[in-house]
Every structure is written in C-alpha cells, then in structure tokens.
Chain A
Amino acid sequence: MTAHEQFADDLALYALNALEGNDRANLEKHLATCSDCRRELEQLRGDGALLALSTIGPKPPARARQRLLDAIAQETASETRARVAATTTGSRRSWWGWLGWAATAAVVVFAASLWKENSALKQSLALMGSQSAQTAREMEEMRRIAAPILSPQAQHITLVSVKTPPQPQGKAFYLRNRSSLLFMANNLPALPPQKAYELWLIPMEGAPIPAGVFKPDAHGSATVVNPPLPSNMEAKAFAITVENEAGATTPTMPIVMMGTGE
C-alpha cells in the first residue's frame, strides 16, 4: 500500500470537513508535502459540489436580494463614517491647521482600500465576463479625489497662526486591520547629508517597527504611503528619528517627533 492509498479514504472525509482527531492531523501533515493529494482533495471537493447540485431547484424569496444590497450599502456607509469621525474628532482639539488634511486623508485612506477591494472585485468580475461599469466609474472618482495628495505636482499648503513660527508637524492615519498607513509631515528641518527621517510604529508590546524612510522636500514636507507593515499590529504611538539614508532596523536616539493615538 502506498502512502497515497493509505490516505485515500481520509482525503474524502477531509474534503467534507468530516475527518477528526489524529487522522486529520496526520493527513494535514501529509498534504503539506504532497501535491498529488492536494490535487485529489480539490477534485473531491469538486465531487462534493456536484452532490450539492442535486439540491438545486428552490429559489430564494425576492426580498433576500434587496436585503443583501441594503447590507452592502450600509456597510460601505458606516465604514466611511467611522473613518471620517476617527480622523476629525482629534483634529478639533489641537489640529486646527490639519482639519482639511484630516478629512482629505480619511478619504484617501478609504479610497486606497476601496480601490484595492474594487480592483480585486473587478478582476473576478472581468474573468466571468460581468465587469461592472459602475465600479470602474467609482474607481476613477476615487483616483480623482486622491490625486491632490499623491501627485508629486500637487501644492501642499499648511496654514498656521501668523504669530507663531512654523513648527514641524506630522500626522499618521493608521488602519491596523488593513496594515494601511498614511503619514504626512511638514515644516521638517533639513537633514545633514546622507541622512533621512525614519518613521516608527511603536506597538503596544515589543520593539519599534520601521514604518518608512523619507526625506522632506525643499519646503520641509514629506509623505509616506502604505509602507510594508506586519498585519493587525496595534499601535501605541508613532515616532520619528534621524537615520542613515538606507534606514535602520532599530531607532537611533533621540526621537525627534512622537505622537500617540487620539
């Protein structure tokens, strides 16, 4: 008896989620290394799908369609509200100059994630020959909204009190469940040669995580968009240090800017 024959019956049960205990653990170990058995598993799931077909006939009630579309619309709307609220509430206290930015940035973060969702959805739909023209229009609209922030040609203007000399400011917008981060700063002091600023995500526990190396432009402005970050990492704070141009894996003191969540 070969290894594959030994697992043949268990594979069928596994395809139906009906394999338990040690048999399941042993099979999963084997599947990790055996592409033949993985292919057979896909086939067996397909055989199960054929069995499922034997049920077709009943149609869902008409209200179910509207219920789904309402749920999708509601989810989209509440996600937008939550993001805008999260970014504007704090701004009212101490970020008057950032109010416009905060609202725009919330739209950009939302636009980026919606664009990501839309592009994945678009791919699936296109492959099935049912691409939605409305989705394409929405993507175009989101790109248009994002352009003033992401385009290198865009003018970035920060308004501050005329009596106060400009202070370095940074603002991070972070969605941990999407590992999505938008950081914008201005009035940053110029750097010595071969040096750059590095942004750090300070997690609730453990060492600071690099969140992008950047250099400000001639006006002291800089933007970091979606640096690679571990998934679902809760942030206690964000901080900035000055590092060599290539960036560092641990921050070099002193911290030049720091902020905690609002």
Chain B
Amino acid sequence: MAELYDRYSSIVYSVALRVLGDAGAAEDILQEVFLQLWRNPGAFDSARGSLGAWLAVITRNRAIDALRRRKPETDIEDVIVSVAPDLAGEADRQRAAEKVRAALSTMPAPQRNALQMAYFEGLSHSEIAAKTGEPLGTIKTRIRAGLIALRKAFQA
C-alpha cells in the first residue's frame, strides 16, 4: 500500500484539493480513498483500465460528495473507467496533464466553464443553467462536447 501511495497520492491529493479548496479536507479524502482501496482492493479491476484514472474518478466523486455534504452516492466497485493514455508513471501523467490543459485552453470559454463547473464544483446541469442563464439543453450538450474534445486530444 505504501508503494501505491507513493505512486498515486499526488493525483488523489491534487484532485481533492481542486474540488475542496482546503488542504485539510483534501488530506481527509486522500486518507479515505487509500483506506478504501486497502479494505477492498478487488474493487479496482485492472483489466478494465488504469489505476491512476480510476483513483482520479473515485477521488473526484468522494470530494464532490464531501463538498455537497451528502452521503457517498456510488459504491467504488460500480465505477469502471476507460482511458486511452498510460497514466502509470509520473512522467506519463505530466505529459497527459499538459495535453489536457492545452485542450482546455483551446475550448470556447462557455464550454470550458460548463465542464469545470460540472466536474470540479459538482453542479447539476440545471444549476449551471441557472447560474449562466443559458438553456438546459445547451449546457448538457456543452458538457458532453467538452468531455469528448478531451478524448480527441489524445487520438490526434
């Protein structure tokens, strides 16, 4: 577990910190995510994707639950994550992160904002629509198009 921690703690902590904006709360999520992995290592199916991506998704979901003060919505076993780039090594993740940041910077601002509000603030599409004054359908489409644009950045 110490080895897994050394390899992946940075990604878990960064995601939790981005969502919660508080170092202490992010450390609590870090603790919770790795304890869950220790208690239930079979929850992650290595045949179905990368541990780094899976931990990023689990952490984001837990952090959003903490942010919105709600009980965890999904069992960690239910989450299957399929991601193209290899995220096992620190250097791989740095390269991928740069690609994602580049893709985000070329995205139209309303699309980037909708995506980030949904992902890092845990807002529903109706909350985003209320906040931006745009139609629900537009927000939905922007979120999906934003996610797919990130995928395409790795297919090029």
**Which A positions have Cβ atoms within 8 angstroms of B?**
8-13, 15-20, 39, 42-61, 64-65, 67-69, 71-72, 75, 117, 120-121, 123-125, 127-128, 130, 132
Find chain B residues with CB under 8 A from A53 CB.
11, 56, 87, 93, 96-97, 100
**B22 on the interface (CB 8 Å rule)?**
no
In angstroms, Cα B37 to Cα A71, docked, is 13
A56 touches B93 (CB 8 A): yes
A17 touching B74 in the complex, CB below 8 Å, given contacts A46-B49, A46-B82, A53-B96: yes
Q: How far is the CB of B106 from chain A (nearest CB, A)?
A: 13
Given contacts A16-B119, A42-B49, A117-B41, contact A52 B56 (CB under 8 A): yes
- B66 on interface, CB distance cutoff 8 Å: no
B83 CB-CB contact with A under 8 Å? yes
Whether a CB of chain A sits under 8 angstroms from the CB of B130 is: no
Which of A8, A46, A71 contacts B83 (CB under 8 A)? A46
Partner of A56, one of B11, B48, B57, B124: B11
A124 and B15 CA atoms in complex are apart in Å by 23
A51 touches B10 (CB 8 A): no
- Contact, CB under 8 Å: A65 / B119: no
Residues of B8-49 whose CB lies within 8 A of A: 9-15, 17-18, 23, 26-27, 30-31, 34-35, 38-42, 44, 46, 48-49
| Shortest beta-carbon distance from B74 to chain A in Å | 7
Q: Which residue of B lies closest to A124 (CB)?
A: B41
Inter-chain contacts of B147 with A (CB < 8 A): 12, 15, 44, 47-48, 51
Which residues of B come within 8 Å of A, CB atoms? 1-7, 9-15, 17-18, 23, 26-27, 30-31, 34-35, 38-42, 44, 46, 48-49, 51-54, 56-57, 59-61, 64, 73-74, 79-85, 87-88, 93-94, 96-97, 100-101, 104, 115-116, 118-120, 122-126, 137, 140-141, 143-144, 147-148, 150-151, 153-154
A128:B96 contact, CB within 8 angstroms: no
In the complex, A240 Cα to B19 Cα: how many Å? 56
The reply to whether A45 and B81 contact each other, CB–CB distance below 8 Å, is yes
Do A124 and B42 have beta carbons less than 8 Å apart? yes
- A56 touching B81 by the CB < 8 A rule? no
Residues of B within 8 A of A46 (CB): 49, 53, 81-84, 151
In the assembled complex, the CB of A198 is this many whole angstroms from the nearest CB of chain B, namely 32
Query: Assuming the A-B contacts A45-B57, A54-B101, are A9 and B143 also in contact, with contact meaning beta carbons closer than 8 angstroms in the complex?
Result: yes
Note all chain B residues with C-beta closer than 8 A to A11. 144
* Docked-complex contact B119 and A50, CB < 8 angstroms: no
Q: List 21 A-B contacts (CB under 8 A).
A: A8-B144, A9-B141, A9-B144, A11-B144, A15-B147, A46-B82, A48-B60, A49-B56, A50-B96, A50-B150, A51-B150, A52-B18, A53-B100, A54-B100, A56-B11, A56-B93, A60-B9, A68-B35, A72-B1, A75-B39, A132-B3
